[in-house]
A and B are shown apart, each in its own frame.
Chain A
């Protein structure tokens, strides 16, 4: 048996192979492409054709591809012979040539035909008018990049002046071209090192391979040039280089290169002669990630430290957070990086405190705190700095192994202060504080970022002392009419996280009282928000309610507050909301609330409006009548949840419940509802098997139809009308439904028949016992995709007859069907043959077809 990876490769190789049919179509396609009279093809087709060639050459590096298909080099020759080829076809040809030249044998072949020089050398398009087109320049770079997978390509490029072209394209007006040039240089340098045998190195005397030498020289010259754009390009290139496998795999070369440029980088940083600080920060971070420098003391880290001091807080932020994420980094640098990140939060705390209080977050700062203060004092930069800092802190809080301690309590205080500034609840007396509070009032951006961090902080310990005041802030936000729907959503998310934390704390009496008080406040405001005229708010409120029920349903205080509030009634009302999203969220919320109100062992009497029967009836009504898919999908998912949690009562009740649900969803227009129905059936089957079979997981030794539990099982499934739904779904016009139905049937068959019979299904003759099964077998064998099964009534198959169904399960080759369904229609759509046929057919058809929307 092959391993899965080999199987995958073999399948892919078969899928992309040059079949006889493709080889027959290819010359026609090439001729059409080279014909200047033909209107331009859809770019997507050309891209897909290149994708195919890429896969083809990847699996087959031999020269046969070009030898057996001479139309390919002929296409290149024909395009080169055109006096004025269209940019589209020229770009295609450049990329195709690069892809074909990606193996050494084909490269040599194309060289012998003298094609590569005419495309990528001086006589190629790079001197002509077509070069004005960004798409041609980009294709030229992509072609070179594809070609660079073997040693002979390097001297070819170096000798044809390609290097200078690539250097120039780094500054191209098209961002895509400039970026491709930079990526190509990184690839070239790394590849040139890869292909040379390693040489002894010292910092002063090193022998770069020729191509690498050219690149390094170019970098050095650019860094010393007076042109700011050249310097910036080189810094970006260096940054990509250190961030690539060069930095991680070529330690010695990395060190040599760094030592070469370190002085220059330091001067840029300290003298600020070039305005490229963000690039410099990125460069330092990528160098820091290289194993050469990680964790060691030395001049590099001194430079990093100096960068943290010299860069502005906005520029230093990304560097600081990157350093804190490193596994190996000197601890003092880490602490300094954290200080940089915490400075704005410290400043906020100090600005909000009374003059005599010592309320800061940091003992000392890294750089001049005046810089942070001045940024926070300005209306335009205040929000930007805080949003950036908060985003970084959120990232840090999500890290599992942060190697410095975050001062969580002070951070929480600072966050609360920011949120209070934003909603105008805090007006500090200090001049800086009042300026910041003026800058932040009603600033949604900062509110959202602060609430995100607040939610992330709930995972941390030690913040318990502030929990009361924290909920004051959160409730103020939930109550405030000024809170925008997005801010409210984030407040709900933060509140639900902190409520979970609160639950973990409430062990003592006083804490229980506090919890009750907080929950009362939460439910009061939730009642109000469930009635909001804005659907976004109603929806977020329902999502919040569901999240609370999921986490807190076992907590006594929570249940008490919930049942004594109006929330249950309001949620039920929202089942009839005009907005379908809200109806769907209400279904989910009601479904979860029912777990407390109806299905819990100690379910309280909650009044007549919230009893089990009425809720089930309401949801069933939504499932059959709601005009939109979301609420119907929500109902079927809730039904499945109830079934999983064992809430549907005795087997007979459950049987009826499932039967009713699947009869409703069977004809639903939304395939995801039908899919949900199949999931319900799957859960029902496995639960029933567990209940009725003695040993559910033991394989059966032979066809055991006579044994009582098996018979009973079949009867239950037939009574619940599962089989009609399952076999009908095999022919569903939406593929995932058929696939899922087949999975369930394969599972059932595995239960009723020994595994060995799966691969050898029985041939069935029509008999009174299994009337129509032969027809069913034939229909499904012809391909489930004949898709006329459901409409003709099943040709007399009795889907409720246990014996017939037992026979059907044994007779139908479900594994083959499974394979057929899993192929999906991609088999047609993405096959190279289909693509070639489409291109040939498209050539010469009306152009207008291409230019409609959608």
Chain B
């Protein structure tokens, strides 16, 4: 089994070769670059031949862009034309995020070498959506199966199986006991033990509430879908409970679609949302209204969700400019911002920003960072390994130093091999494939009759001839093998001549050698046929055929 990847914090793209099948796990993009480096260099996958011929399938674990952002580029620009698998919610949500990012990229940078809307659609039309626990037969040998992962809506861990070899790929901390040959897990928070999500949520609500209470405005830059919905639900419930009146706006224009999908895939959301959904439809917001550009100038407190999430273009940046000068206001950044964006600048503490036209924007508003990422932390990863009991672990999507620490911990605690391949490095994992063999009934009966009665607790050694035909193995009796193959039994006799210098008479010498050998070896020994010849016979030597 081979595995190599383009890991790093910023994108995930892993190639697994398992029993001759090549599977690509995730196809992420690096949001920090706006040149070729944003996509994995797919030319490394194969130098000879087409990618479509080389890869048996592509599997996408969830809709985050660092896991799926390069997919339209891969399928529509690089030319991969084979099967792509993801869950139904991921297939529904992926194009929204890809479209969102495309628009920002094209808007911001005037990019031309980027996929178009049509390419995103064409790519999505090639995707085969899978259900949880559905075994998908990619071809006669390769099968994949998705399990609930809970990282984000629609996220799944995938088990890939060829014969008796299997790999599990997961981005979350929850898994069945499936004892795979290899468990591939992301390790973003490899050395961190994070606050509980509930704590972070409480903190978020407290900050929003305090700002609104003192008459300030809160800006929450988000991407169209994903975290935005989670935060909307939080605020909606809180507003309801506290009977707050300050308006909450959602500016993306995609609310309806996003909510539609959350409603559609309610069974995929977390238990809390599911439970509340029974009493009330969580996605029919009472307090959250659509945003209009004119509202930004309204007096009084308000909360606005606006895109894009990194504050580098569009409405979120426009609102930020208007509100930045007032210390009563607050901006809450719920996600990662790449270098060069306004989001990155304010998070790194810069308070005087040079905008277009050399204007200086003084940021007096409060700046908060809150991570709601659902990646597994160190504790989660250890728990995951304990549950899954893999034979090998491979860490991806993390920083080398932190991964090294975790690797040592895993090896010590679980006594399994742990790998953390560098960029482009191939990891080879030896597996012990068990090959099923059919046994003929005749042979089974005959062998059972010999020796002690069968004991269920002890393995029994069977003797027979192994026939390999049409990719199947059968153990049959030698006679049957000969019959099936149309072969006659041959007997081979091995002889060798030994010269012995002995002053005695030939006959005496022969007899002495015979007696000596008779005592020393158990084989059948022919009495001396002639004066100087001793014959040893091991029995008949049968020819076995392996075809």
> Could you tell me which A residues sit within 8 Å of B by CB distance?
40, 42-45, 47-48, 86-87, 133-135, 138, 173-177, 179, 278-279, 281-282, 318, 379, 384, 387-388, 391, 444-445, 448, 485-486, 489, 536, 539-540, 580-581, 627-630, 633, 667, 669-672, 733-736, 782-783, 785, 787-788, 790-792, 820, 823-830, 834-835, 837-838, 841-842, 845-846, 848-854
Say yes or no: is B108 at the interface (Cβ < 8 Å to chain A): yes
Given A486-B125, A829-B341, A854-B336; A175-B4 close (CB under 8 Å): yes
A628 to B83, CA, bound (A): 28
Are A135 and B423 in touch, CB under 8 angstroms?
Answer: yes
When distances are taken between beta carbons in the complex, the residues of chain A under 8 Å from B106 are 736
Q: Looking at the complex, which of B351-359, B482-490, B511-519 is the stretch in contact with chain A?
A: B351-359
Could you show 7 A-B contacts with beta carbons less than 8 Å apart? A174-B422, A539-B121, A667-B292, A735-B107, A826-B109, A838-B339, A845-B348
A841 to B49, CA, bound (A): 47
Given A175-B44, A841-B349; A44-B338 close (CB under 8 Å): yes
> Could you tell me which B residues sit within 8 Å of A by CB distance?
4, 8-10, 30-33, 37, 44, 47-50, 52-53, 64-66, 81-83, 95, 99, 103, 106-110, 117, 121, 124-126, 140, 188-189, 192, 223, 251-254, 256-257, 292-294, 296-297, 309, 312-315, 317-318, 321-322, 335-341, 344-345, 347-350, 353-357, 359, 369, 371, 373, 375, 399-401, 422-426
Output the nearest chain B residue to A534 by Cβ-Cβ distance.
B125
When distances are taken between beta carbons in the complex, the residues of chain A under 8 Å from B353 are 828
17 new A-B contacts at CB < 8 Å, known A40-B401, A278-B49? A44-B339, A87-B400, A135-B422, A175-B4, A384-B53, A627-B257, A629-B99, A669-B252, A733-B293, A791-B296, A827-B356, A841-B345, A851-B188, A851-B375, A852-B371, A854-B66, A854-B309
Name the contact of B356 in the complex, choosing from A175, A279, A733, A783 (C-beta under 8 A).
A783
Q: Whole-angstrom distance from the CB of B344 to the nearest CB of chain A?
A: 6
When distances are taken between beta carbons in the complex, the residues of chain B under 8 Å from A845 are 347-349
Are A838 and B348 in touch, CB under 8 angstroms?
Answer: yes
Name the contact of A174 in the complex, choosing from B309, B339, B350, B425 (C-beta under 8 A).
B425
A489 to B9, CA, bound (A): 37
When distances are taken between beta carbons in the complex, the residues of chain B under 8 Å from A176 are 44, 423-424
Given A838-B339, A853-B375; A734-B32 close (CB under 8 Å): no
Are A853 and B335 in touch, CB under 8 angstroms?
Answer: yes
When distances are taken between beta carbons in the complex, the residues of chain A under 8 Å from B425 are 134, 173-175
Are B424 and A174 in touch, CB under 8 angstroms?
Answer: yes
Given A44-B339, A135-B422; A825-B344 close (CB under 8 Å): no
Output the nearest chain A residue to B41 by Cβ-Cβ distance.
A176
Given A627-B256, A790-B293, A854-B309; A841-B356 close (CB under 8 Å): no
A783 to B369, CA, bound (A): 30
When distances are taken between beta carbons in the complex, the residues of chain B under 8 Å from A539 are 121, 125
Output the nearest chain A residue to B120 by Cβ-Cβ distance.
A581
When distances are taken between beta carbons in the complex, the residues of chain B under 8 Å from A391 are 50, 52-53
When distances are taken between beta carbons in the complex, the residues of chain B under 8 Å from A828 are 340, 353-356
Q: Whole-angstrom distance from the CB of B240 to the nearest CB of chain A?
A: 25
Given A388-B49, A838-B345, A845-B349; A824-B109 close (CB under 8 Å): yes
A782 to B358, CA, bound (A): 11
Output the nearest chain B residue to A633 by Cβ-Cβ distance.
B117
Are B339 and A278 in touch, CB under 8 angstroms?
Answer: no
Output the nearest chain A residue to B316 by Cβ-Cβ distance.
A733
Q: Whole-angstrom distance from the CB of B139 to the nearest CB of chain A?
A: 9
Output the nearest chain A residue to B357 by Cβ-Cβ distance.
A783
When distances are taken between beta carbons in the complex, the residues of chain A under 8 Å from B345 are 834, 837-838, 841
When distances are taken between beta carbons in the complex, the residues of chain A under 8 Å from B124 are 536, 581
A851 to B374, CA, bound (A): 11
When distances are taken between beta carbons in the complex, the residues of chain A under 8 Å from B296 are 791
Given A135-B423, A787-B321, A845-B348; A835-B53 close (CB under 8 Å): no
A843 to B390, CA, bound (A): 39
When distances are taken between beta carbons in the complex, the residues of chain B under 8 Å from A444 are 83
Output the nearest chain B residue to A51 by Cβ-Cβ distance.
B35
When distances are taken between beta carbons in the complex, the residues of chain A under 8 Å from B254 are 628
Given A40-B399, A853-B375; A177-B424 close (CB under 8 Å): yes
Q: Whole-angstrom distance from the CB of B80 to the nearest CB of chain A?
A: 12
Are B313 and A735 in touch, CB under 8 angstroms?
Answer: yes
When distances are taken between beta carbons in the complex, the residues of chain B under 8 Å from A826 are 108-110
Most chain-B CB neighbours within 10 Å: which of A388, A735, A852?
Answer: A852
When distances are taken between beta carbons in the complex, the residues of chain B under 8 Å from A173 are 425-426
Name the contact of A825 in the complex, choosing from B8, B108, B126, B223 (C-beta under 8 A).
B108
Are A854 and B108 in touch, CB under 8 angstroms?
Answer: no
When distances are taken between beta carbons in the complex, the residues of chain A under 8 Å from B188 are 851, 853
A815 to B193, CA, bound (A): 56
A852 to B400, CA, bound (A): 16
When distances are taken between beta carbons in the complex, the residues of chain B under 8 Å from A47 are 33, 37
Name the contact of A318 in the complex, choosing from B37, B48, B189, B357 (C-beta under 8 A).
B48
A826 to B399, CA, bound (A): 29
Are A834 and B52 in touch, CB under 8 angstroms?
Answer: no
A671 to B223, CA, bound (A): 16
Are B359 and A783 in touch, CB under 8 angstroms?
Answer: yes
Are A540 and B125 in touch, CB under 8 angstroms?
Answer: yes
Are B297 and A791 in touch, CB under 8 angstroms?
Answer: yes
Pick the 9 closest A-B CB pairs, nearest first: A669-B253, A44-B32, A176-B424, A134-B422, A783-B357, A841-B348, A175-B424, A852-B336, A829-B340
Are A489 and B4 in touch, CB under 8 angstroms?
Answer: no
Q: Whole-angstrom distance from the CB of A636 to the nearest CB of chain B?
A: 14
A736 to B140, CA, bound (A): 50
Given A134-B423, A175-B425, A853-B336; A820-B309 close (CB under 8 Å): no
A792 to B49, CA, bound (A): 60
Most chain-B CB neighbours within 10 Å: which of A486, A633, A823?
Answer: A486
When distances are taken between beta carbons in the complex, the residues of chain B under 8 Å from A179 are 44, 424
Output the nearest chain A residue to B151 by Cβ-Cβ distance.
A853
Given A388-B53, A788-B322; A44-B371 close (CB under 8 Å): no
When distances are taken between beta carbons in the complex, the residues of chain A under 8 Å from B117 are 630, 633
Are A733 and B318 in touch, CB under 8 angstroms?
Answer: yes
When distances are taken between beta carbons in the complex, the residues of chain A under 8 Å from B375 are 851, 853
When distances are taken between beta carbons in the complex, the residues of chain B under 8 Å from A852 are 335-336, 371, 373
Name the contact of B315 in the complex, choosing from A733, A736, A782 (C-beta under 8 A).
A733
Q: Whole-angstrom distance from the CB of B355 to the nearest CB of chain A?
A: 7
Most chain-B CB neighbours within 10 Å: which of A134, A539, A629, A829?
Answer: A829
When distances are taken between beta carbons in the complex, the residues of chain A under 8 Å from B349 are 841, 845
Are A388 and B50 in touch, CB under 8 angstroms?
Answer: yes
Are B110 and A736 in touch, CB under 8 angstroms?
Answer: yes
When distances are taken between beta carbons in the complex, the residues of chain B under 8 Å from A630 are 117
When distances are taken between beta carbons in the complex, the residues of chain A under 8 Å from B315 are 733
Are A851 and B189 in touch, CB under 8 angstroms?
Answer: yes
Are A734 and B313 in touch, CB under 8 angstroms?
Answer: yes
Are B110 and A489 in touch, CB under 8 angstroms?
Answer: no
Q: Whole-angstrom distance from the CB of A539 to the nearest CB of chain B?
A: 7
When distances are taken between beta carbons in the complex, the residues of chain A under 8 Å from B252 are 669
Are B65 and A733 in touch, CB under 8 angstroms?
Answer: no
A174 to B109, CA, bound (A): 33
Are A671 and B423 in touch, CB under 8 angstroms?
Answer: no
Output the nearest chain B residue to A830 by Cβ-Cβ distance.
B340
Name the contact of B355 in the complex, choosing from A448, A628, A785, A837 (C-beta under 8 A).
A785
Output the nearest chain A residue to B43 by Cβ-Cβ distance.
A179
When distances are taken between beta carbons in the complex, the residues of chain A under 8 Å from B125 are 485-486, 489, 536, 539-540
When distances are taken between beta carbons in the complex, the residues of chain A under 8 Å from B82 are 445
When distances are taken between beta carbons in the complex, the residues of chain B under 8 Å from A318 are 48-49
Given A391-B53, A851-B9; A672-B44 close (CB under 8 Å): no
When distances are taken between beta carbons in the complex, the residues of chain A under 8 Å from B192 are 848
When distances are taken between beta carbons in the complex, the residues of chain B under 8 Å from A850 are 9, 336
When distances are taken between beta carbons in the complex, the residues of chain B under 8 Å from A278 are 48-49
A734 to B108, CA, bound (A): 8
When distances are taken between beta carbons in the complex, the residues of chain B under 8 Å from A45 are 339
Q: Whole-angstrom distance from the CB of B56 to the nearest CB of chain A?
A: 10
When distances are taken between beta carbons in the complex, the residues of chain B under 8 Å from A175 are 4, 44, 424-426
